[in-house]
Amino acid sequence: MSKAATARTVAAKPPKAAFLGYFDGITDRVARGWALSLLAPAEPTTLHVLIDGQEVGTVTAEEVREDVQNALGHPNGKLGFSFALPVELFDGQQHTIGFRFANRSVVPVINPDDPDRPLDSLAFTLNRTYEFQSFIDGMKTGALRGWVQRIDPVDGTRSGGCHILVTANGTRVAQVKADRYRGDVAAVLGGDPNCGFELILPNAFRRGGQQTFRFVITPDDVELSGSPLTTTLVDDQLEAKLIEIQAKVDRLYGEINRLRTDVADVVPKPTFNLGDYDRWARRYYDRLRARVASERAHDAPDAPQPLVSILVPTYKPMMSDFTAAVDSAIAQTYRNWELIIVDDGAKSPEVASRIKQYCDQDTRIRCITLKKNRGISGASNAGLAAARGEYVAFFDHDDLLVDVAIEMMVRAAQRTGARMLYSDEDKIDQAGYFLEPNLKPDYNYRYLLGCNYICHLLFVKTEALRKVGELRATYDGAQDHDLILRLVEEIPASEIHHIPEVLYHWRKTPNSTAVNIGNKGYAIDAGVRAVGDHLARRGIKAKVHSIRGLTLYGVTWQQRKQPHVSIIIPFKDQIDITQRCVETLLETTDYKAFDIILVNNWSITREAEAFCRRMDKLDRVRVLTVEEDFNYSRLNNLACADSKADMFFFMNNDVFVQDKNWLRTIVGEMLASPDVAIVGGKFLYPNDTIQHAGVVVGPAGVAAHVHRGAPLTDYGYIGRAMLSHEVSVVTAAGMLVRASVFREVGGFDEEKLKVAYNDVDFCLKVGEAGYRIVWCAEFVAYHHESLSRGSDDRPEHEARFRAETETMQERWGNNPRYLRDPFYNKHFTVDRQPFFDLVDPAESK
């Protein structure tokens, strides 16, 4: 401080103050100032030191300050003080320091912006600028070796354990930690002997000839002495040649895949999709009949032929549609059936006359006439009461049965022992065009809660129908949904079978629900009640509501339990996005029993160091540091190893929740049934299009995201982008898992699936263990995909991705769950656009 400045500060003090002094500021990591007691000016005074608002010690003002002595006329000038800032404050974070006189009054700080308005404390930020001593020994016995010691500028301590980033021609090779024992270095320089490093290079960098490597200390960004290093890595010509051949194979593999894609895009081939379903269907039905005929040729002469009762409730149908419906029943290739036509109310003499003609022509056709209209439920019940068959098939009065429908149903029932069966269906318009196929999943209980996806053709053991009771008129409009829900309460999932063949045509007429649900608005309320009453019978507390005023239903689980959930988030640097992810979780989540485990995968920036220190101070958050190359499976396995949580939520650091009830929602979905072991969610790109709505699997493409790119408001295929349902796989970008099941199946595969497909493999293991996986449409979050890791398309990743793809094909290639995803219809492709592109009928089996 200049003499003029000292004079000004002295003159600024009030004359009656007990103490006088100023905190000048920080220079060379030392806080300096001056102070004296006006009651005992010749004696050094003691000050209290406050850092970040907390007292940390005292300092005595006993250093000579001639500038202040001259300004005040002080007798000895011993009124200066200095305080060396503690080493722990050299952390890159902002801190404050201030001083207090003995009476706790403030030692003011000179304000550089306004000297007449001093401050109470001074804010400062300090970083340690380390020095380093290092050397690269070069290539020895097949590995790059060297050493580095970090020299602390404050106390001169030499330490090892530095992190080093190794690159070759700008491409990252590896990260290593210099913590190997180097007694030779310590003997000469002293300090920590654990300062050496050794790097065995990946094959991709072990080709013959010279290569240049750079070695940089992180996060300090200091290059080691001797870097860059140019060396010949492989002396043995045969090994060099083999490594070069392997590298060439890896390059060719990537090139072949790209060429296949290019060829597929330009070479004409017969492809089908939902837009030209009619063309697909006409080829499909010819092949379907041929397949059934081939099976029939191998039937034993004495094969059982159980009687099948086909129930047709009839009320004022169009005559042309009605006759077409009955004719399609008569045309069945399976012959042991009875057709029970229930004339509900006898409103049409023309229809009654035509029914009589049918009965006269074929003794298998019977008519029940109800003098009073009893509605769909009453008419169906009348037919059921008269049924003599071992099985009952439900058939509407204006729809069409494919001619092999009953035959396929009987064959499947006898082969599987199922008591309830259903098939795929499509629609047929007045012009005879096939359209809007409903290509269904295998039995999917969670989907059934959201809509009556089973619908037609329903084929049920008669004794099971009579056991659950008649159709209920109070649910008319959703009477079939109510009946199916009561059937699944009685019949176990193992005895419910889906035949993935289109065996039923639903007629589109101006008054049918196939055209306009508004024609049966009452059905919506009936459906809500049917699902709600079913859950109540199961003892599950839930609220059911219609989605957008349609016969699609959402379920809000009313579970009060809050099992403890550990949210596991791996990250490497990318602190802005990771911090946003964590802060959003902490600010948004309305759920008490959760903690966050941040898995720091060898971050290399100062920003990351500071972030980890901040996070470790939070009650709900802890940081697990893993100094290894990226291995997604291992990072998550390590986080789970010492967690006592009931459930794990695996989460990418680029996923952002937005609903305060998100965790309650998915935990409720998990607790709704003890066999649900995994729950995923709907993840969106920032532009409000779908990134993840479940994953399908199959050898043609290993795994594919469904509905990707569809708008947030899109219903998806048969409501599946809006309705929670069971799937084979959900992404681990946001996946809730029962901890007990995670351990039961051995967690993620950290040996062969380090990066790709580990979540697919894990979900398949859980499914094989007998548990269910639910994709929850009500859990919505945003996912900035690939921010967390990057793409597998880059050349340096191709070999690893190829190996992981081969692992999946070898491990699951003969597994029925993988060969045909049970929650995805076999007629859709996996390698092209899911739920849109169709498999060629010639390939359908």
Model confidence pLDDT, tens digit, residues 157-202: 999 999 999 998 888 889 999 999 999 999 999 999 999 999 988 7
DSSP structure class, residue 85: P
DSSP assignment of 23-67 equals: EEEEETTEEEEEEEESSSTTSPEEEEEEETTEEEEEEEE-EE-HH
98 half-sphere exposure, CB direction, 13 A CA radius: 19
- CA-to-CA distance for 480 and 523, rounded, in angstroms? 11
Cα–Cα separations (whole angstroms), residue 632 to 313, 638, 692 = 58, 10, 19
Q: Are strands 676-684 and 772-783 parallel, antiparallel or unpaired?
A: parallel
pLDDT at residue 14, as a whole number = 43
CATH of domain 286-557: 3.90.550.10
pLDDT at 269: 58
Q: State the pTM of this model.
A: 0.83
CA 25 to chain centre: 52
**pLDDT score recorded for residue 152:** 85
Nearest of 733, 707, 729 to residue 812 by alpha carbon? 729
Rounded average pLDDT over 341-345:
93
Per residue in 291-319, pLDDT (tens digit) is 999 999 988 888 899 999 999 999 999 99
| Angle, alpha carbons 50-54-60 (nearest 5°) | 30
Q: How many H helices and E strands in the chain?
A: 21, 44
Amino acid at 319: M
More confident residue, 247 or 434: 434
Q: Delimit the CATH 3.90.550.10 region(s) of the chain.
A: 286-557, 565-843
What's the farthest any 2 CA atoms get from each other in the chain?
134
The residue-averaged pLDDT of 3-16 equals 47
> What pLDDT sits at residue 169?
81
- DSSP-derived letter for residue 758 is H
pLDDT in tens, 216-255: 999 889 999 999 988 766 544 545 555 566 666 666 666 6
Mean pLDDT of 656-673: 96
- The answer to whether residue 793 scores a pLDDT higher than 70 is no
pLDDT of residue 234: 52
- CB-facing half-sphere around the CA of 29: CA atoms within 13 A: 15
State the CB neighbour count (10 A cutoff) for residue 34. Answer: 29
pLDDT higher than 60, residue 514:
no
Q: Which CATH number fits domain 3-127: 3.90.1200, 3.30.420, 3.40.190, 2.60.40?
A: 2.60.40
> Using omega within 30 degrees of 0 as the cis cutoff, is the peptide bond preceding 228 cis?
yes
Count CA within 13 A, CB hemisphere, residue 622.
Answer: 8
CA dihedral for 405, 406, 409, 415, sign (positive or negative): negative
Res 36 pLDDT > 60: yes
In the numeric block, the tokens 């003609």 are attached to: 357
Cross-strand bridge partners of residue 61: 45
Contact 683, 689 (CB under 8 A): no
Q: What pLDDT, on a 0 to 100 scale, did the predictor assign at position 796?
A: 52
In terms of Cα–Cα distance, which of 634, 675, 653 is closest to 781? Answer: 653
Burial (CB count <10 Å: 0-12, 13-18, 19+), residue 729? buried
Residue 442 has pLDDT above 90, yes or no: yes
For the domain made up of 565-843, the CATH class stated in words is alpha beta
Q: Are strands 621-625 and 553-557 parallel, antiparallel or unpaired?
A: unpaired
Residue 286: other Cβ atoms inside 10 A = 11
Q: How far apart are CA 342 and CA 96, in angstroms?
A: 88
Q: Is the dihedral of CA 512, 517, 523, 527 positive or negative?
A: positive
**Positions of CATH 2.60.40 in the chain:** 3-127, 131-235
Structure tokens at 307: 């009687």
Taking 70 as the threshold, does the pLDDT of residue 522 lie above it? yes
CATH of 131-235, picked from 3.30.70, 2.40.128, 2.60.40, 2.40.160, is 2.60.40
Helices (H), 299-367: 319-330, 349-361
Average pLDDT of the chain to the nearest whole number: 90
Q: Which residues contact 331 (CB under 8 A, 6 or more apart)?
A: 401, 403
Asked if pLDDT for residue 795 goes beyond 60, the answer is no
Q: Taking 60 as the threshold, does the pLDDT of residue 472 lie above it? A: yes
Provide the b/e sequence for 786-796 (b: ≥16 CB within 10 Å): eebbeeeeeee
pLDDT of the residue at 11: 43
What per-residue confidence (pLDDT) applies to 389?
97
Q: Residue 215: which H helix or E strand, with range?
A: strand 210-218
CA distances from 484 to 115, 302, 471 (A): 83, 33, 10
CB 272 within 8 A of CB 235: no
**pLDDT of residue 845 exceeding 50:** yes
Query: What is the mean pLDDT of the segment spanning 404-421?
Result: 97
pLDDT at res. 7: 44
